Homo-oligomer: A and B are copies of this chain.
């Protein structure tokens, strides 16, 4: 049994979507109006005896970073608690407000799904600020296209069209820009989408960082497909589509000048085909999430809280390559928290789980798919991993920033 403080686990959402008015799942109970604008301050105070005490009992357990900032911190973009605070405390309460009608439901999912004169449209966006712009296995352009395609795929949508908007820094080499744009087009062809609209802005030298790109995407959700975090049930199996941590480690290896015996490339890939394979096989997918910033840990925490289920993982069944495992040991990282750009986690009812894994394994991007755990009705919101010696550890959110600008 875990101490009760763990059960409070609050979950960030790296992306946010607001339920459009009139959408069919307005009945969701998770409105943002219940979320306090600020998470209570957890700071060290000197008490009257001159010793350090805590404002909150929870904070006694371990040193906690400041959570109440007046300015943007790097960790606000990192996929941990601070980002959760920013999204749920600032963006969602404002954007989900509807005049005269209180709040719309906030569905913390990768794409918004809209009903438009007969067609169900998925709509999503992402900004990319990764450094370096080119890394083993990809570049910012490929990342931007696949990232947005994947967000659409996570709603079960067939991606149709993307937009691409560039913020360039004065002095950026046009040849590198051309290389990135070429890479985006190649990625779009691979993912079978078209880049149909775009924009360019230039900022003065020192006010940007070479190039930032923001993609938005639209896709069509087939009739009958309804993939959403609140459909996850306590008995669902947790399935990952492949080994974890390649993207984060590929980026870190360039930044830190590390090289490994076996070359380590980003897993950056478009997941729409993999998802289509699952759906066409008739697998009743309850929810999916692509694993980006914050890794598997962030995705699971978020869904656990949203669906009010607990999750129990078997740590040994989680696929991690030897190269990533080695690099993580070297760098002091936990692969469950490392970013991916071509992996998903799916929640599938137990009777369909092994069929889903077989189905995934037939696709080139799902060769290492595995059932890594199951959802439970106990400890809703809590993710626990059982290690090889039978010890449990909590897979909580990071408080700070592990790797800034990973995507």
Could you list which residues of chain A lie within 8 angstroms of chain B, going by C-beta atoms? Answer: 14-21, 69-78, 83, 86-87, 90-91, 94-95, 97-99, 104, 111-112, 114, 116-119, 121, 123-129, 160-161, 163-175, 177-178, 181-182, 184-185, 188-189, 194-204, 206-209, 212, 214, 216, 218, 220, 404-405, 407
> CB distance A17 to B201 under 8 Å?
no
> Which residue on B lies nearest to A75, using beta carbons?
B202
Which of B18, B168, B200, B209 contacts A197 (CB under 8 A)? B18
> CB distance B125 to A165 under 8 Å?
yes
Q: Known interface pairs A71-B173, A209-B207. Does A112 touch B200 (Cβ–Cβ under 8 Å)?
A: no
A169 to chain B, nearest CB (A): 7
> CB distance A405 to B203 under 8 Å?
yes
Q: 21 A-B residue contacts at CB 8 Å?
A: A17-B198, A19-B196, A72-B172, A72-B202, A76-B202, A87-B200, A90-B178, A97-B185, A112-B196, A116-B160, A117-B220, A118-B118, A123-B196, A123-B216, A127-B199, A129-B203, A165-B214, A201-B407, A203-B405, A206-B206, A216-B216
> CB distance A127 to B167 under 8 Å?
yes
Which of B129, B200, B203 contacts A209 (CB under 8 A)? B203
> Which residue on B lies nearest to A23, using beta carbons?
B196
Residue among A114, A161, A202 with the most chain B CB within 10 A?
Answer: A202
> Which residue on B lies nearest to A38, using beta carbons?
B174
CA gap between A111 and B214 in the complex, in Å: 16
A157 to chain B, nearest CB (A): 11
Question: Which residues of chain B are within 8 angstroms of A169 by Cβ–Cβ distance?
Answer: 72
> CB distance B214 to A127 under 8 Å?
yes
> CB distance A197 to B161 under 8 Å?
no
A95 to chain B, nearest CB (A): 5
Question: Which residues of chain B are within 8 angstroms of A125 by Cβ–Cβ distance?
Answer: 163-165, 197-199, 214, 216
Question: Which residues of chain B are within 8 angstroms of A14 by Cβ–Cβ distance?
Answer: 199-200
Residue among A116, A118, A121, A199 with the most chain B CB within 10 A?
Answer: A199
A197 to chain B, nearest CB (A): 4
Question: Which residues of chain B are within 8 angstroms of A182 by Cβ–Cβ distance?
Answer: 94
A395 to chain B, nearest CB (A): 23
CA gap between A77 and B200 in the complex, in Å: 6
Q: Known interface pairs A15-B198, A189-B99. Does A218 touch B73 (Cβ–Cβ under 8 Å)?
A: no
Residue among A14, A123, A166 with the most chain B CB within 10 A?
Answer: A123
Q: Known interface pairs A73-B202, A214-B125. Does A195 touch B18 (Cβ–Cβ under 8 Å)?
A: yes
Q: Known interface pairs A116-B160, A174-B70. Does A126 touch B18 (Cβ–Cβ under 8 Å)?
A: no
> CB distance B174 to A71 under 8 Å?
yes
> Which residue on B lies nearest to A175, using beta carbons?
B70
CA gap between A186 and B172 in the complex, in Å: 36
Question: Which residues of chain B are within 8 angstroms of A199 by Cβ–Cβ distance?
Answer: 14-16, 125-127, 214
> CB distance B71 to A116 under 8 Å?
no
Question: Which residues of chain B are within 8 angstroms of A204 by Cβ–Cβ distance?
Answer: 74, 404-405
Which of B70, B94, B165 contacts A185 (CB under 8 A)? B94
> CB distance A218 to B123 under 8 Å?
yes
CA gap between A114 and B197 in the complex, in Å: 11
Question: Which residues of chain B are within 8 angstroms of A17 by Cβ–Cβ distance?
Answer: 196-198
Question: Which residues of chain B are within 8 angstroms of A207 by Cβ–Cβ distance?
Answer: 208-209
In the A-B complex, the 5 residue pairs with the closest CB atoms: A77-B202, A216-B216, A125-B163, A214-B214, A112-B196
CA gap between A126 and B78 in the complex, in Å: 24
CA gap between A71 and B171 in the complex, in Å: 5
Which of B95, B97, B121, B189 contacts A121 (CB under 8 A)? B121
